[in-house]
Structure 1
Amino acid sequence: MEAKEIIEEKQELALALPLPSTIAVAINGKKKSKYVVRWALEKFVPEGLHMFKMLHVRPKITSVPTPMGNSIPLSQVRDDVAAAYLEEMGWQTSEMLLPYKTMFLHKKVQVDVVVIESDDVAKAIAEEIAKALSISLLLELHLVACFQGSAASYSHFHSPSLPMQRFQALSTINRTLLHTRTGSIETNSSRRQSLDIREEESFMSPCPSNSDIGYAPSQVSSARSFLTDDQSWISDQASTSDAFTESSSGSQVNINFELEKLRVELRHVRGIYAMAQSENIDAARKLNDLSKRRLEEADKLKEIKLKEEEARELARKEKEKYEAAKREAEYARECAEKEALQRKEAEIKALHDVKEKEKLENALVGPVQSYQEFTWEEIVSATSSFSENLQIGKGAHGTVYRCNLHHTTAAVKVLHSKEGHITKEFQQELDVLSKIRHPHLLLLLGACSDHGCLVYEYMENGSLEERLLQKYNTAPIPWFERYRIAWEVASTLVFLHNSKPKSIIHRDLKPANILLDHNLVSKIGDVGLSTMLNLDSSICNINTGPVGTLCYIDPEYQRTGLVSPKSDVYAFGMVVLQLLTAKPAIALAHLVETAVQDDQLMEILDPMAGQWPMKETKELALLGLGCLELRRRDRPDLKDEVLPALERLKDVADRSRDSAPKVQLAPPNHFVCPILKDVMHDPCVAADGYTYDRRAIEKWVEENDNSPMTNLALPNKNLIPNYTLLSAIMEWKSQSNQ
């Protein structure tokens, strides 16, 4: 009887257990969580289960992060900061769970959101399940992996089906009740527990691993049939227990007991079959849905492909339209450019015609001014109020300054006074230089007529006299360059003597009035004393006193007062002898004539000019002596005799120059670094105002604080690049390499 009472109590307990009414969905907020929620809604809402519980486990908040990337323990921050951070984390969690909660609300299903703070996800979910054992739990696959790594004490939560958990709970209750009974039925209770364990293993054997967790909800759908079988099994177990207590009476009781066991196993097999059949039906339904969806997707894919083809065709047409428009725009642009070019050419032609017309009008009205007129203020500003530092020459009639006018380096000649004869010479030079042009005649850039100033092009190498006498430590001129200079001066004199409508006589030819540019090309200047002769007259009577420089004035002009082109020939002869000897003009003709007669010409030649060719040099000396004849008629003709001879000598000089090694010119003093005593590569101005090579001064200031020139303390160690000097050094190097 006691066994029957135990069976009845177990049946009442089994019937008293409620059917599962709450579905728990555990999510982690990642992308796959929405698929689990959608599956749970589709699976359980049609079965009438309208209560869901959404579980989310987040780590415990033990510290507050800082903007520097580290963290501060929660106990070490202020209470208001900790409260604000906890509130912010709670708000973020609510925002993360809001989309999933909205999915439940769209299905009109009640859902309870539970947020758990724990560092052990499996343990937190297990404790939540322990509070409500009747909840069906649906886990994501990645949470199942967390369960696999948990402690062995929670291994009973790994079961793939919720009916198995219920069955385990029933078995535990049965064992607890059976242990409270008397020891008379202890043997029967142990057998029932063994049977429970075998049944439990039979339930667990189909799902040995967590990989089948995805099929757990389908097994839950058959939970009621399992519970019914469990109740039937319990009742059968009770009858079997009664039969077992009476087994001692006979073998018939044992047979009945075995039959009852077979019935229980049969019911169990039927339950498993029903569950498999239900899952098969669900799978077939899902397969049909997938087939329909695949067909729909195929139709949609066809539509998309069709639209894609239409889009491609449309894009191709648009591209063709774009190419056509581009070609039209390119053609229009070319036409516009051609039209603009034609318009510009027409404007240039019209401007040229206007200028030509103005020239013709000016020629008819009066003389044309071919030089630029500068103001006195511009002259004063360009010469820094006629600073002595810019003075480069001084003569009998004026002083020459170096200046920079309109971004051009020039030389300004300022006359000493405004007396009548000075004004006449100024106007004479202005008229001559403004009307004629020659490559070896000094170029006039402009003038200031009010104050008697003439602006010439600047000649870098100064005058021929300075270079021959090597003033300011200048480099000597090679002999072949002297041959060329003689030819250039002679050709310029021929040009002046044959100018039209009047012949021009220089009257003051000397090395000081022959200037040299950076390539040692000579140009004749200072034509203020020049005289114009009519073409039908070769001699002009000068009523004024003799003008010019002693030793260069024609003796016949001094005796008779008559000037002619042969007067310039006499001065040219003296220039030739100075080119050969680099000696002053006084008594030079007698010295050379004596040396030629005694065959000692090589002894009086300038040794700095290099190895003179004996034959050609003697020919040039005789030519110079011929130009210095006292009588005008004994002097050779400049155009017919002197110039052809100089051309032959120039050809010899050119061949020698091409074959001779380059003569290294000595650098100017301001090109040399005071520290290195060599030409500077990168000139920089230091705080003491002196210019040094950058590397040398940088090394100096590293070791010293005083100036290398003044030996005074440097205010600072800043260096300013001297680009003007660098440009001059580079130009000098290029000339030296030519």
Structure 2
Amino acid sequence: MGDGALIVAVAIKGNNSKTKGVVRWALQQFASQEHVVFKLLHVQPRDSISVSTARKDSTTTVYKKDVDRKTREMLLPSRDMFAHREVQMDIMVLESDDVADAISKAVQDHGISELVIGASSSIIFSWKLKRSNLSSKISDVTPRFCTVHVISKGKLLNVRKSDIDIETSITDDRSENQFTSSSHSGSVSSTSSHQFSSTPLLFQRMQALSTVNQKVGTKIGTNSNIDTHHNRTASLDVDTKMLNQKGFYRTSSSGIGYGGSDIQGRRRSYTDEGSSSSCSSDPTSSSSQVNKDFELEKLKIELRHIKGMYAVAQGEVMDASKKVQDLNQRRSEEASRLKNLTIREEDADEVVEMERERQEQAENEAELVRRCVERETEDKLEAQARAEEVRKEKQRLEDALEGGPLQRQQYMKFEWEEIVQATSSFSDELKIGMGGYGSVYRCNLHHTTVAVKVLHSDKSNLTKQFHQELEILSKIRHPHLLLLLGACPDHGSLVYEYMHNGSLEERLMTRRPNSDAPQPPLRWFERFRIAWEIASALYFLHTNEPRPIVHRDLKPANILLDRNNVSKIGDVGLSKMVNLDPSHASTVFNQTGPVGTFFYIDPEYQRTGVVTPESDIYAFGIILLQLATARSAMGLAHSLEKALRDQTGKFSEILDKTAGDWPVKEAKEMVMIGLRCAEMRKRDRPDLGKEILPVLERLKDVACNARNMFAETLMDHNHHAPGHFYCPITKDVMDNPCVASDGYTYEKKAITEWLEKNHKSPMTDAPFPNQTLLPNQSLLSAIKEWRSHLIK
């Protein structure tokens, strides 16, 4: 904002016709002037944006943004009026409970010259009688240098003038009165009239110079000494007296005019001179002499003003010179300090270099000694390491049998080096799965095939979830829950039993295309049994004491199958453990957001964020429908409901044909119980222990009978299997063939038990060169292919 600009403030309260009238009047009155800046004032109460200290959360930010948005919308029409006139305008939103005080402070802080406000409802008829309204209060407290315009219905109602306007008005009135009195006097000559018209302008110029001299005198007195200030002040007083003697006087309000007695004296003097000398004197020369005297006095004052300015400039030059000297001295001191620091740094570098040489020499000597010691003790250390490993293994087995430290720790702790070595430094060839929490690897630990889950190292927020899963799986055991063998807590690793047949999702939908041999489809009686196994594991979790456990992510991908297609629920504890509030009797838990896979999430839990054991019942119902159809979960319930209502036999067509000849009655029972579990409202879903488990247990018995009949048929076909499919020890078709060091292939479990008791080969009766077992992958693929043809 440039100097000398006229600042006009328009105070508005809301967006109505009164506000538009105030803005329109201000634009008509001041917009056409040059160098004018408008400010739009709006006072906003503090309590509308105050926030309780007890709740400083995201709600505060949202509320305050909403208040700011409403304020901008309210000021938008007024802003558009200024933009239409193409004038400069600033918006000022003040926060105060006292409107008048806030406007007064804004006028004071920003130097506002003109303030335009709207009239209060009662001010239109009682401006002088009632002073308690807001417009009157604003006019009273506004600084006196500002002019206040009160507008009503687009017209000016009242004006409270500033002190500057009042003084100017008084001066103009006095000058006009003196001019009138002089014009009516018939004895004043033409010379007097000329002197009257030119003198006020000259005196105003003298007064401005006198004011500047006063300021200069004050500054000089500050920079130099007090005597100079007194001398210049005295000279200014003399100038003022001289001007008064010439016929001028200064009013109390800085107005300027003639002295009355001097005017009368001059009139008499001019009259006497005219009568006595008549035509002997020249009036023109007398008037010229007076003007010269005034010009001379003006030049003297300007000269003193220039001298004062020179003194000020000289003082500033001296101050600048002193500052330059101080800076030069400081620069010399800093240069000296820098030089000293440089010398100290060089000395420190020399000391560091000497220490480095000493350290290198010591390291070389230590390396020589270490090599000598290693050569002497290498065999001894290797023997001690083997003995220590055997001792640790023996201690672990004893603890596991006696329930000692394992009972206290609830799980076996593995060393990180063991896991790294077993997984070949986490080789991609051993990776069997990857999820949002980490990667899963298949490896051998302590002569056992296991699955190791390693959490992502960059997921620091998973520490709590890891410990929750560790706490749950280390304290609970169930035949159909994935068994936790151990963990490495320091590196976020969990060791599970290895499930050879993958997940239920792979067996139902994908058929594991990346496996070494194609997996045969699950028979319908196996699916009945798997449904009962999942329900029994869920019932165990939901009735856990003292705190029930809700899985919250039950789906076919988290149901794993072992080599005999026995199902076990995995991923039980990672961020899925929910604590029960002791003050409530129900198992209802509040969560911040839905957790799980979309098609298996309880709709009521997804809508309300409240999770209950019935949320797992919903996901279990979808799994039952997938066991019957081997289809995607999307829209599956609707398709089955439509097939059940149809009387033309479409239900049999929707069942998975690869499972064999379904018993239609039992299949309908499983589908109907699944549809009840998948109801939208949890109160419509059946109870797991009282309604679901009895039905599935009856279906399991039917499946058991069918399985026995199928096994007898399969045994008849086994007599036609190739001879190399049979294990030399068990005489049965092998499930996991391995090659021993004698060159023969055995069932892994059988040969492992044989090696624990015997050291000679069952085929050659010669000692085994070593106890290494290698999987026979080609033979395993051939056996799986032969079995798949049998089932088909």
Please tell me the TM-score bracket, short chain as reference: 0.3 to 0.5
TM-score by length of 1: 0.42
TM-score by length of 2: 0.40
Bigger Rg over Cα: 1
